[in-house]
Protein backbone atom coordinates (compact mmCIF):
# COMPACT_ATOMS: atom_id res chain seq x y z
CA UNK A 1 0.00 0.00 0.00
CA UNK A 2 1.45 3.39 -0.99
CA UNK A 3 0.93 6.64 0.85
CA UNK A 4 -2.04 7.72 -1.25
CA UNK A 5 -4.00 4.47 -1.07
CA UNK A 6 -5.56 5.48 2.24
CA UNK A 7 -7.73 7.86 0.22
CA UNK A 8 -9.69 4.87 -1.08
CA UNK A 9 -11.16 3.68 2.23
CA UNK A 10 -14.24 4.94 4.04
CA UNK A 11 -16.36 8.01 3.40
CA UNK A 12 -16.54 11.26 5.38
CA UNK A 13 -20.02 12.31 6.44
CA UNK A 14 -21.51 15.74 7.14
CA UNK A 15 -23.76 16.21 10.16
CA UNK A 16 -27.24 16.05 8.60
CA UNK A 17 -28.83 17.63 11.69
CA UNK A 18 -27.07 20.91 10.93
CA UNK A 19 -28.19 21.19 7.30
CA UNK A 20 -30.51 24.14 6.66
CA UNK A 21 -31.94 23.43 3.20
CA UNK A 22 -32.61 20.67 0.67
CA UNK A 23 -30.01 22.37 -1.52
CA UNK A 24 -27.30 21.72 1.07
CA UNK A 25 -28.41 18.09 1.32
CA UNK A 26 -28.13 17.60 -2.43
CA UNK A 27 -24.71 19.20 -2.56
CA UNK A 28 -23.06 17.41 0.34
CA UNK A 29 -24.56 14.03 -0.54
CA UNK A 30 -23.10 14.36 -4.03
CA UNK A 31 -19.71 15.58 -2.87
CA UNK A 32 -18.91 13.52 0.21
CA UNK A 33 -18.78 10.16 -1.57
CA UNK A 34 -15.81 11.39 -3.61
CA UNK A 35 -13.79 12.92 -0.78
CA UNK A 36 -10.68 11.64 0.91
CA UNK A 37 -11.90 9.74 4.02
CA UNK A 38 -9.23 11.26 6.25
CA UNK A 39 -10.74 14.74 5.98
CA UNK A 40 -13.54 16.16 8.11
CA UNK A 41 -16.72 17.82 6.86
CA UNK A 42 -17.94 20.64 9.12
CA UNK A 43 -21.50 21.89 8.58
CA UNK A 44 -22.49 25.52 9.30
CA UNK A 45 -18.94 26.46 10.23
CA UNK A 46 -18.70 29.77 12.13
CA UNK A 47 -15.93 32.29 11.50
CA UNK A 48 -15.41 35.41 13.62
CA UNK A 49 -14.33 38.36 11.44
CA UNK A 50 -13.59 42.03 12.06
CA UNK A 51 -17.18 42.81 11.01
CA UNK A 52 -19.00 40.07 12.90
CA UNK A 53 -19.53 36.34 12.83
CA UNK A 54 -20.45 34.50 9.63
CA UNK A 55 -21.33 30.90 8.88
CA UNK A 56 -20.14 28.87 5.91
CA UNK A 57 -22.46 26.10 4.70
CA UNK A 58 -19.69 23.50 4.64
CA UNK A 59 -15.98 23.44 5.38
CA UNK A 60 -13.76 20.46 4.65
CA UNK A 61 -10.52 20.24 6.60
CA UNK A 62 -7.51 18.14 5.68
CA UNK A 63 -4.04 18.50 7.23
CA UNK A 64 -4.84 22.00 8.47
CA UNK A 65 -6.12 23.18 5.07
CA UNK A 66 -9.74 24.39 5.07
CA UNK A 67 -11.98 24.82 2.03
CA UNK A 68 -15.44 26.36 2.35
CA UNK A 69 -18.51 25.75 0.17
CA UNK A 70 -21.57 27.94 -0.16
CA UNK A 71 -24.79 26.83 -1.88
CA UNK A 72 -26.53 30.01 -2.97
CA UNK A 73 -30.29 29.72 -3.28
CA UNK A 74 -31.75 32.45 -5.47
CA UNK A 75 -33.93 33.95 -2.74
CA UNK A 76 -31.32 34.17 0.00
CA UNK A 77 -28.18 35.64 -1.52
CA UNK A 78 -26.91 38.97 -2.78
CA UNK A 79 -23.78 38.40 -4.89
CA UNK A 80 -22.30 41.78 -3.99
CA UNK A 81 -22.78 41.31 -0.25
CA UNK A 82 -21.41 37.78 -0.55
CA UNK A 83 -18.15 39.16 -1.92
CA UNK A 84 -17.71 41.40 1.13
CA UNK A 85 -18.56 38.46 3.37
CA UNK A 86 -16.14 36.09 1.63
CA UNK A 87 -13.41 38.70 1.79
CA UNK A 88 -13.84 39.17 5.51
CA UNK A 89 -13.72 35.41 6.08
CA UNK A 90 -10.59 35.00 3.94
CA UNK A 91 -9.02 37.98 5.72
CA UNK A 92 -9.02 35.96 8.96
CA UNK A 93 -6.86 33.34 7.17
CA UNK A 94 -8.86 30.69 9.03
CA UNK A 95 -10.23 29.39 5.71
CA UNK A 96 -8.01 29.06 2.65
CA UNK A 97 -10.59 28.96 -0.13
CA UNK A 98 -14.32 29.59 -0.59
CA UNK A 99 -16.42 28.17 -3.42
CA UNK A 100 -19.85 29.52 -4.33
CA UNK A 101 -22.34 27.51 -6.37
CA UNK A 102 -25.72 28.74 -7.58
CA UNK A 103 -28.74 26.72 -6.54
CA UNK A 104 -29.73 25.96 -10.13
CA UNK A 105 -26.30 24.50 -10.82
CA UNK A 106 -26.37 22.32 -7.71
CA UNK A 107 -29.75 20.95 -8.83
CA UNK A 108 -28.98 20.42 -12.51
CA UNK A 109 -25.19 20.33 -12.90
CA UNK A 110 -23.85 18.94 -9.62
CA UNK A 111 -21.32 16.61 -11.24
CA UNK A 112 -19.89 19.53 -13.20
CA UNK A 113 -19.66 21.62 -10.01
CA UNK A 114 -17.79 18.81 -8.27
CA UNK A 115 -15.43 18.49 -11.23
CA UNK A 116 -14.57 22.19 -10.94
CA UNK A 117 -13.60 21.62 -7.31
CA UNK A 118 -11.49 18.63 -8.36
CA UNK A 119 -9.62 20.58 -11.03
CA UNK A 120 -8.69 23.26 -8.51
CA UNK A 121 -8.20 21.22 -5.34
CA UNK A 122 -7.64 17.56 -6.29
CA UNK A 123 -5.94 16.69 -3.01
CA UNK A 124 -9.28 16.49 -1.13
CA UNK A 125 -10.62 13.74 -3.42
CA UNK A 126 -10.25 9.98 -3.10
CA UNK A 127 -8.37 8.00 -5.74
CA UNK A 128 -11.49 6.52 -7.28
CA UNK A 129 -12.83 9.84 -8.45
CA UNK A 130 -9.96 10.68 -10.78
CA UNK A 131 -10.50 7.41 -12.66
CA UNK A 132 -14.15 7.90 -13.59
CA UNK A 133 -14.90 11.63 -13.22
CA UNK A 134 -14.68 12.25 -16.97
CA UNK A 135 -17.69 9.96 -17.42
CA UNK A 136 -19.83 12.08 -15.10
CA UNK A 137 -19.46 15.62 -16.43
CA UNK A 138 -20.51 17.40 -19.60
CA UNK A 139 -18.25 17.59 -22.62
CA UNK A 140 -18.30 21.39 -22.38
CA UNK A 141 -16.85 21.31 -18.87
CA UNK A 142 -14.16 18.83 -19.85
CA UNK A 143 -13.18 20.99 -22.83
CA UNK A 144 -13.19 24.15 -20.73
CA UNK A 145 -10.40 22.85 -18.55
CA UNK A 146 -8.40 21.81 -21.59
CA UNK A 147 -8.76 24.87 -23.81
CA UNK A 148 -9.11 27.57 -21.12
CA UNK A 149 -6.90 26.22 -18.35
CA UNK A 150 -4.72 29.33 -18.12
CA UNK A 151 -7.75 31.60 -18.05
CA UNK A 152 -9.57 29.75 -15.30
CA UNK A 153 -6.47 29.70 -13.09
CA UNK A 154 -6.16 33.48 -13.37
CA UNK A 155 -9.79 34.31 -12.57
CA UNK A 156 -12.09 33.77 -9.61
CA UNK A 157 -15.12 32.98 -11.74
CA UNK A 158 -15.90 30.06 -14.03
CA UNK A 159 -18.62 30.38 -16.68
CA UNK A 160 -19.39 27.41 -18.92
CA UNK A 161 -22.21 27.06 -21.47
CA UNK A 162 -23.52 23.48 -21.43
CA UNK A 163 -25.73 22.24 -24.27
CA UNK A 164 -29.00 20.43 -23.59
CA UNK A 165 -29.70 17.72 -26.16
CA UNK A 166 -32.70 15.60 -27.00
CA UNK A 167 -32.74 11.86 -27.69
CA UNK A 168 -31.54 12.51 -31.27
CA UNK A 169 -28.48 14.37 -29.95
CA UNK A 170 -29.86 17.67 -31.23
CA UNK A 171 -29.14 20.79 -29.17
CA UNK A 172 -32.42 22.19 -27.84
CA UNK A 173 -31.12 24.66 -25.26
CA UNK A 174 -28.24 25.63 -23.04
CA UNK A 175 -27.49 25.91 -19.33
CA UNK A 176 -24.93 28.36 -17.93
CA UNK A 177 -22.76 26.99 -15.16
CA UNK A 178 -21.48 29.84 -12.98
CA UNK A 179 -19.14 29.30 -10.04
CA UNK A 180 -16.92 31.47 -7.87
CA UNK A 181 -13.69 30.37 -6.20
CA UNK A 182 -12.00 32.89 -3.91
CA UNK A 183 -8.74 32.15 -2.13
CA UNK A 184 -6.82 33.94 0.60
CA UNK A 185 -3.78 34.06 -1.70
CA UNK A 186 -5.61 35.44 -4.75
CA UNK A 187 -5.79 39.11 -5.68
CA UNK A 188 -9.55 39.37 -6.05
CA UNK A 189 -11.56 42.56 -5.65
CA UNK A 190 -12.59 41.31 -2.20
CA UNK A 191 -9.28 42.67 -0.92
CA UNK A 192 -10.39 46.23 -1.72
CA UNK A 193 -13.66 45.64 0.13
CA UNK A 194 -11.80 44.37 3.19
CA UNK A 195 -9.63 47.50 3.12
CA UNK A 196 -12.79 49.60 3.34
CA UNK A 197 -13.98 47.68 6.40
CA UNK A 198 -10.57 47.96 8.08
CA UNK A 199 -10.50 51.71 7.42
CA UNK A 200 -13.97 52.24 8.94
CA UNK A 201 -13.95 50.21 12.16
CA UNK A 202 -16.93 52.03 13.68
CA UNK A 203 -19.32 51.33 10.81
CA UNK A 204 -21.45 48.25 10.31
CA UNK A 205 -21.09 46.12 7.20
CA UNK A 206 -24.56 47.17 6.02
CA UNK A 207 -23.64 50.84 6.41
CA UNK A 208 -20.42 50.40 4.43
CA UNK A 209 -22.18 48.54 1.63
CA UNK A 210 -24.79 51.29 1.37
CA UNK A 211 -22.12 54.02 1.34
CA UNK A 212 -20.21 52.12 -1.33
CA UNK A 213 -23.32 51.85 -3.51
CA UNK A 214 -23.82 55.60 -3.12
CA UNK A 215 -20.23 56.11 -4.34
CA UNK A 216 -19.23 57.67 -1.01
CA UNK A 217 -16.38 55.22 -0.41
pLDDT top residue among 74 and 111: 111
pLDDT band at 117 (very low <50, low <70, confident <90, very high): very high
Is the separation of the CB atoms in 198 and 207 below 8 Å? Answer: no
* Alpha carbon of residue 99 to chain centroid: 2
Domain regions of the chain by residue span: 5-213
End-to-end CA distance of the chain: 58
Query: Taking 90 as the threshold, does the pLDDT of residue 3 lie above it?
Result: no
Is the separation of the CB atoms in 71 and 24 below 8 Å? Answer: yes
What is residue 134's predicted lDDT score, i.e. its pLDDT?
A: 92
d(CA 3, CA 108): 36
Mean pLDDT of the region 28-36: 95
Is the separation of the CB atoms in 90 and 128 below 8 Å? Answer: no
Mean pLDDT of the region 209-214: 93
Positive/negative CA dihedral, 51, 193, 82, 152? negative
* Identity of the highest mean pLDDT range in 94-98, 132-136, 166-170: 94-98
What is residue 205's predicted lDDT score, i.e. its pLDDT?
A: 94
Edge-first strand order for the sheet with 52-62 is: 40-49, 52-62, 65-72, 97-102, 171-183, 157-165
What is residue 157's predicted lDDT score, i.e. its pLDDT?
A: 84
Query: Taking 50 as the threshold, does the pLDDT of residue 83 lie above it?
Result: yes
Please give the angle made by the CA atoms of 161, 164 and 170, to the nearest 5 degrees.
120
* Alpha carbon of residue 149 to chain centroid: 18
Percent of the chain whose pLDDT exceeds 70: 90
Amino acid sequence: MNGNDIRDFGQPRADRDKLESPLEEIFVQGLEKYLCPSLEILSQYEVQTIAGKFRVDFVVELNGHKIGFECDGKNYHDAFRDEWRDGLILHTEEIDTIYRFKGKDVYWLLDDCIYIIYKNDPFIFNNRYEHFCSNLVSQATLEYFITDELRYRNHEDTLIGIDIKNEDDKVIGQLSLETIRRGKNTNGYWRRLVEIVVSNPNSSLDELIELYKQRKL
